[in-house]
Structure 1
Amino acid sequence: MSIIMGRVGAAAAIVAMFLLSSCGLNSEKKPVMAESSHTRGEQCDRALGFFSKELGIPTVDIEYESEAPYEEIGLGAHCTVTQTDLAIGQTRLRAMLPNESEPALLKGDLSYIPQSGYDEKVWIKTTASAVNIATKVDGWQGTLTINTAQIKTGESKFKISDQQIRSASQFLISLTKELGAEG
């Protein structure tokens, strides 16, 4: 009788271990990259609106290249804003890899300066010809490039203000949050 109880106890222990591991209680949880079901068109429409309304840039358009506006963002997508066929800006959204702690383009580039005063992490790199902004929101990275040297606003050269850079940073945070997988 004790042999039978021993076998039943061993079988019960094996079943219990199986149930615990299948429920995830005994296994290590691995991060999973989630895809976005939002479309490139949504991303590009928002970028176009930002460049025309917030930055006040006339006659802007979107260049889709070989991808269609109805295609899903999936694990990542980009959108190029043009003015008279010149690329004046770009947004990129990408699911971060499980081992990434910050946007990939920041690695080894010390010219990106961390910013404060935002709900999410923001880094900015300013050059004579462009402003580059990066953010990290809920496992997604967003980047925004404004090619200031390419932008035409009439007779004068386009100058971006500190307030416009702040507005661009807020726009990028919202874009990444709303169109990332959790959005």
Structure 2
Amino acid sequence: MTESSHARREQCDRTLAFFSKDLGISSASIEYGSGAPDEKIELGAHCTITQDSLAVGQTRLRAMLPSESEPALLKDDLGYIPQSGSDEKVWIKSAADAVYIVTQVDGWQGNLHIETAQINSGRTKFEISDSQIRTASQFLIALTKELGAQG
């Protein structure tokens, strides 16, 4: 297992930029929780994005155990659908109130949760498009590759 020397701040800054620019979510901010922004990712880290004090999304990066052939959370959840069209493995699960994306890159697992029901977009309900989901998948692959596997 390879540790990442990148800081959580890098993960969180990139996640915030994705939520702000690619999803168009205004007034989003970073919630670090109990961890400090300058802590190293090492074998794993998470970042929560909030809007109006509500969690609207999250990224998680984690080094996979040598015994894991795919991300552990896929094992008991048949709701995740494998996607094609990418060099890396990606699974997506869509629910009425959220979209969950998982990737596996060079021994690292990346997760992205978009809590669509919590997002205040000025409309009655935030709608995420297929194009935004594809962009989210590519964002997660790049995040996992650059901060985890290559860390």
- Above 0.5 in TM-score? yes
Structure 1 residue runs of 5 or longer lacking an equivalent are 1-32
The Cα shift of 1:156 comes to 3.1
Counterparts of 1:35 and 1:168 in 2: how far apart (Å)?
A: 24
Mapped partners of 1:180, 1:66: distance in 2: 21
Q: Distance in 2 between matches of 1:86 and 1:120?
A: 31
User: 1:111 deviation in Å?
Assistant: 0.5
Q: Which residue number in structure 2 is paired with residue 66 of structure 1?
A: 34
Give the % identical residues. Answer: 73
**Structure 1 residue corresponding to 2:11, chosen from 43, 48, 52:** 43
Correspondence for 1:110: 78
Which residue in 1 is equivalent to 2:116?
148
- Give how far 1:66 is off: 1.1
> Does the Cα contact within 8 Å between 1:78 and 1:90 map onto a contact in 2?
yes
Q: Report which of the two has the higher share of strand.
A: 2
Q: Is residue 2:136 matched to residue 1:160?
A: no
- Would you say the 8 A contact 1:62–1:80 is kept in 2? yes
Q: CA RMSD in A?
A: 0.7
Q: Which has the higher contact order (CA 8 A, sep 6+)?
A: 2
Task: Kindly name which structure, 1 or 2, has the bigger radius of gyration based on alpha carbons.
Answer: 1
The separation in 2 between residues aligned to 1:124 and 1:77, in whole angstroms, is 21
* Residue 61 of structure 1: how far off its partner (Å): 0.3
For the residues of structure 2 that align with 1:43 and 1:108, how far apart are their CA atoms? 27
* 127, 135, 141: which one aligns with 2:95: 127
TM-score by length of 2: 0.98
The whole-number CA distance in structure 2 between the counterparts of 1:77 and 1:105 is 16
Task: Quote the offset at 1:108 in angstroms.
Answer: 1.2
